[in-house]
Amino acid sequence: MESQSQIERLCVAKGLKMTGQRRVVARVLAEATDHPDVEELYRRAVARDPRISIATVYRTVRLLQERGILERHDFGGGRARFEPAEHGPHAHLIDVESGAVLEFEDAEYEAAMRAIAERLGFELVSHRIELFGRRKAGKVPPR
């Protein structure tokens, strides 16, 4: 038997019944290295289980989002994209031409956000950054 994904474990911990189809959607989400939209999740899920409907994927994503297991992002392009909520601190750089999303971490940025919150009399509990850019000619993204 395959081990449970982190998303499946979170679902169980939050009291969600894990049907076979929810399990497939959870595994597809857990294995995603990108930020898929619901239609892409559906394509990947139906490749594993042809009985899954797009309505099931929509319902599952909405439920996981409501329970704080998934984060919804709007990177432009008219479609919501998703990633696990407990993905660790990171920021996103979105290529406005291709829609590609590059995740990155930056200790200096993290320190600056904490310092700004402190200066304004707050304790930073969360933050989100989404940068939008266009790749410079001849530049290749880091791996």
Residue extents of the structural domains in the chain: 6-84, 91-133
Count CB atoms within 10 A of the CB of residue 8: 21
Joined tokens for residue 50: 């042809």
103 near 90, Cβ under 8 Å? Answer: yes
- Percent of the chain whose pLDDT exceeds 70: 90
pTM of the complete model beyond 0.85: no
Rg (the chain; Cα; Å) = 17
Q: What is the CATH number of domain 6-84?
A: 1.10.10.10
pLDDT tens string 38-91: 888 999 999 999 999 999 999 998 988 888 888 887 766 667 777 777 666 677
pLDDT at 81: 74
Give the fold, CATH level 3, of 91-133. Answer: Dna Ligase; domain 1 (3.30.1490)
